[in-house]
Structure 1
Amino acid sequence: MAATSSRQPKIIVLDDDPTGSQTVHSCLLLTRWDVDTLRIGLADAAPIMFVLTNTRSLTPEDATHVTREVCQNLKIAIAAENIQEFMIVSRSDSTLRGHYPIETDAIAEELGGFDAHFLVPAFFEGGRFTKASVHYLVVNGVPTPVHETEFAKDSVFGYTHSYLPDYVAEKTKGRIPADKVERFLLSDIRAGSRQRLQRLHDNQCCVVDAENQGDLNQFAADILAVAAMGKRFLFRSAASILTALAKLPPQPIAAAEMSKYMRSPKAGVAIVGSHVKKTTEQLENLLKAANTVPVEIEVARLLADSAQSELLKQEALAQVYQAHAQGKTAVVFTSRQELVFEDITTRLAFGQSVSALLMAIVQELPNDIGFLISKGGITSNDVLSTGLNLPTARLLGQILAGCSVVKTPADHPRFPELPVVLFPGNVGDAQALATVYNRLAIGIS
């Protein structure tokens, strides 16, 4: 048996939108994956790093290409930084939406030799847990199998099973039959899994139960112990397992006191792109909060004429600047009506057009805003990579369970040291967006 290492491996997370960091803090988020940028992340002192691939917004072909490119550059960067021990996580949605198994297949082919890959979709801060291999979402206090929720009806990533072995069989089109999926049940995890983990080989597909963070802390401890003996594991997960793998202490500033990070006592701006039902409810409540001003963008105008983009941008910015001059927070949001498209490719392309419009607005926001709230996973990724043009950003912590805050660097040409909230579309109760705003608005003079 190989000797056991006591060193903490570097946890390298390929995040299909930028919200997988929603349970950790004090690490780097990378929006680019050239070798030099990856080396910055690998050399950073934090035990975990995130590469924001944004693949959930891409076609399957483009998602595969991006994932392969990241892995190929990672091999070079890992060798250059002489990283001896690392672990790869393909972080995706806790409601089972995303390019599975496309991304884990690409990672396995490029960085091969994995003994197993684990599906760990639990995300406790968002009310998602897994029991008896069935994945649940707590809806209005009621644990509900995820295939019965709106997320299972997603027009791009829909599915029909909450029982994870059946989900795997469905998504792999039978390549991995349900009866060939290894199930790690609560009783297994709580009793300890090291001997079983040591027997895994040939990239065995495994699904993992978890009802609370203690379950994943136990499982991660076993994973790390067995990995230190030479076993190689790959993860397809939501965010909660990352907390356990990285073993981070509490964040430096408590969630309720995040206004301390504000660089200016002036009002901020919120950008809302997500269209899930929960976001719409949260938006309605945010607009009831004091000193907020609605700025609605009628994106249907883009369908009729793409040349409308510049006009929509100028109209929105005029309203934003007017609100800011009055000391109020402009809430920029896309119209809520559901548009119908002839196919998935057309829908994704339109989504990219809408995002480009939103990012053009972000780039021209008042340069003395006190904070920026970005609502929606894909929207948040684009805010960091395009709107703010950040190759890396430092994660400060969580302002609300599941909602990260990052800060731009001091040398940013337009928005230095700006706190930016990355708020997933499907996280929090109806008041959550208003709660985040109110925690920051305390710092407005």
Structure 2
Amino acid sequence: MNNQPKIIVLDDDPTGSQTVHSCLLLMHWDVETLRLGLKDNAPIFFILTNTRSLTPEDAANVTREVCHNLKLAIEAEQITDFLIVSRSDSTLRGHYPIETDVIAEELGAFDAHFLVPAFFEGGRITRDSIHYLIIDSVPTPVHETEFARDSVFSYNYSYLPKYVEEKTKGRIKEDTVTRFLLADIRKGSLEKLLQLHDNQCAVVDGENQTDLNIFAQDLLTAASQGKRFLFRSAASILTALAALPPQPIAAENMSEYVRGGKPGAVIVGSHVQKTTQQLESLLTVEGTVGIEVNVSRLLDHGVNESAKILTEILEQVREVYNTGKTPVIYTSRQELTFKDVKTRLDFGAIVSALLMDIVKGLPADIGFLISKGGITSNDVLSTGLTLTSARLLGQILAGCSMVITASDHPQFPNLPVVLFPGNVGNTDALATIYQRLVSH
């Protein structure tokens, strides 16, 4: 056994693997499936819990179930050296502190839990404990962006100690949070790390990958001296902890994975502004045809309408595909309003079920599939393609992963699937990915 701990990531949507490659993504978390991840040669694996789409209670229950099974799997595989990461959003949306609290209860005791939201490929940096989103080259504190007004996960502070106090409802006070600033990190943090105890909350700066690489070395050294750490992070610290070589096939050449040079299909669920712009740009590219799923019809007629829409859409998909073009199936773009969070999440589940039925009905010989939106991507893997696990090939564009289905998949063997988060990439990013896949 090398001295590198196994990095176990509970990912609240399936896009947290957006900076690594060659590892397993697990869609199920029974003990046997978890043992696959622990046995795998890669230093890191991901358990896709999709908790960001759940209510707080359900998120806690799923996390508890994963941790319970993980304990059994770790004992069975006799793993002594591991790190647990609760991977979440680089714009601070998600069930914090619910998930880290449950993990600490089930898998503790930890000496510290670290908030590390930096995600450099997506333009998220943390400086002086303030988390920024770089918009048109200007660092903007995240509480001033649309993400802070998220209808489920809103918050008021970009200064992380204050964010922690707000989210823990005052249980962890701002002035008790340990801050790892750029200057500390760059001169070495080992001594400070060794002094942490009793699940101390710590927030971590990072302006570039080198910062987190240095910090990760100190973390691993502290861990090898017996410290137990928990992370609540975006993707960039994972790159640093896993320390992987470059991916096997470069992003520009990923059309090598496309099946039989065939057209593909694109599914667009996310309705953030950025996705809408990317969709509009994609639909101007030759070879693509847009097919709109009018979700407001579901609002009026519910599930009965679903079957009708499904038949109509699949008919259109087949027509487009038979002419050698790629159907781009997208949900109508207006954001609907709901009387409360539960109603919104329930409606989201109906829309998702419809989209997944569309995925199941796609022509069996499509060359590739692009899935846009975090929750949509999770559902595509677990429900649409009914996968237990998938192998991550790497990134086709910064922040956008590509996985491949197993060769014995009953419907879509060896199908390359792009997982494209809602809030990543420039206006032409979706078009760029499409063009990379059809350039052969």
TM over 0.5: yes
Residue of structure 1 equivalent to 2:342 = 345
Correspondence list, 1:26-105, <5 A: 26-105=22-101
**Deviation at residue 35 of structure 1 after TM alignment:** 0.3
- 2:208 is the alignment partner of 1:220: no
Correspondence list, 1:253-264, <5 A: 253-264=249-260
Rounded Cα–Cα distance in structure 2 between residues aligned with 1:257 and 1:293 = 24
Residue of structure 2 equivalent to 1:238 = 234
Residue of structure 2 equivalent to 1:433 = 430
Rounded Cα–Cα distance in structure 2 between residues aligned with 1:264 and 1:383 = 22
Rounded Cα–Cα distance in structure 1 between residues aligned with 2:318 and 2:224 = 55
Contact 1:30 1:50 in 2 (8 A): yes
**Deviation at residue 167 of structure 1 after TM alignment:** 0.4
Which residue, out of 309, 314, 318, partners 2:315? 318
- 2:439 is the alignment partner of 1:442: yes
Which residue, out of 10, 13, 22, partners 1:14? 10
Contact 1:26 1:251 in 2 (8 A): yes
Rounded Cα–Cα distance in structure 1 between residues aligned with 2:260 and 2:289 = 19
**Deviation at residue 262 of structure 1 after TM alignment:** 1.0
SS of the equivalent of 1:7 reads coil
Which residue, out of 328, 331, 335, partners 2:332? 335
Rounded Cα–Cα distance in structure 1 between residues aligned with 2:293 and 2:136 = 30
Residue of structure 1 equivalent to 2:152 = 156
Residue of structure 1 equivalent to 2:276 = 280
Q: Give the TM-score taking structure 2 as reference length.
A: 0.99
Contact 1:72 1:110 in 2 (8 A): yes
Contact 1:14 1:89 in 2 (8 A): yes
The one-letter code of the counterpart of 1:312 is I
**Deviation at residue 264 of structure 1 after TM alignment:** 2.0
SS of the equivalent of 1:8 reads coil
The Cα offsets for residues 19-46 of structure 1, whole Å up to 9 and x where unpaired, read as: 0000000000000000000001111000
**Deviation at residue 346 of structure 1 after TM alignment:** 0.5
CA RMSD of aligned residues (A): 0.7
Residue of structure 1 equivalent to 2:188 = 192
The one-letter code of the counterpart of 2:385 is L
**Deviation at residue 140 of structure 1 after TM alignment:** 1.6
**Deviation at residue 239 of structure 1 after TM alignment:** 0.2
Which residue, out of 359, 369, 373, partners 1:372? 369
**Deviation at residue 388 of structure 1 after TM alignment:** 0.2
SS of the equivalent of 2:94 reads coil
With 259-268 and 197-206 compared, the bigger mean Cα shift is at 259-268
**Deviation at residue 441 of structure 1 after TM alignment:** 1.2
Residue of structure 2 equivalent to 1:401 = 398
The one-letter code of the counterpart of 2:248 is P
The one-letter code of the counterpart of 2:109 is G
The one-letter code of the counterpart of 1:332 is I
**Deviation at residue 68 of structure 1 after TM alignment:** 0.2
Rounded Cα–Cα distance in structure 2 between residues aligned with 1:206 and 1:431 = 37
Rounded Cα–Cα distance in structure 2 between residues aligned with 1:375 and 1:171 = 29
**Deviation at residue 402 of structure 1 after TM alignment:** 0.2
- 2:381 is the alignment partner of 1:387: no
SS of the equivalent of 1:305 reads helix
**Deviation at residue 6 of structure 1 after TM alignment:** 6.1
**Deviation at residue 317 of structure 1 after TM alignment:** 0.7
The one-letter code of the counterpart of 1:68 is R
The Cα offsets for residues 215-257 of structure 1, whole Å up to 9 and x where unpaired, read as: 0000000000100011000000000000000010000010111
The one-letter code of the counterpart of 2:255 is S
Residue of structure 2 equivalent to 1:299 = 295
Rounded Cα–Cα distance in structure 2 between residues aligned with 1:139 and 1:357 = 34
**Deviation at residue 338 of structure 1 after TM alignment:** 1.2
The one-letter code of the counterpart of 1:328 is K
| Identical columns (%) | 71
SS of the equivalent of 1:12 reads strand
Structure 1 residue ranges, 4+ long, deviating more than 3 angstroms after superposition: none
- 2:407 is the alignment partner of 1:410: yes
The one-letter code of the counterpart of 1:103 is E
The one-letter code of the counterpart of 2:403 is V
Contact 1:396 1:406 in 2 (8 A): yes
Which residue, out of 416, 421, 425, partners 1:424? 421
The gaps in structure 1 that reach 5 residues or longer are none
- 2:21 is the alignment partner of 1:25: yes
The one-letter code of the counterpart of 1:146 is V
**Deviation at residue 358 of structure 1 after TM alignment:** 0.3
SS of the equivalent of 1:97 reads coil
In structure 2, do the counterparts of structure 1 residues 6 and 414 end up closer, same or farther at CA, with 3 Å as the change threshold? Answer: closer
Rounded Cα–Cα distance in structure 2 between residues aligned with 1:37 and 1:358 = 26
The Cα offsets for residues 379-431 of structure 1, whole Å up to 9 and x where unpaired, read as: 00000000000000000000000000000000000100000000000000000
Rounded Cα–Cα distance in structure 2 between residues aligned with 1:441 and 1:283 = 17
The one-letter code of the counterpart of 1:229 is Q
Contact 1:406 1:420 in 2 (8 A): yes
The gaps in structure 2 that reach 5 residues or longer are none
The Cα offsets for residues 326-372 of structure 1, whole Å up to 9 and x where unpaired, read as: 00000000000110100001001111110000000001100000000
Rounded Cα–Cα distance in structure 1 between residues aligned with 2:391 and 2:401 = 11
Rounded Cα–Cα distance in structure 2 between residues aligned with 1:404 and 1:74 = 25
Contact 1:6 1:228 in 2 (8 A): no
The one-letter code of the counterpart of 2:233 is S
Rounded Cα–Cα distance in structure 1 between residues aligned with 2:27 and 2:430 = 24
The Cα offsets for residues 422-444 of structure 1, whole Å up to 9 and x where unpaired, read as: 0000000000000000000113x
**Deviation at residue 54 of structure 1 after TM alignment:** 0.2
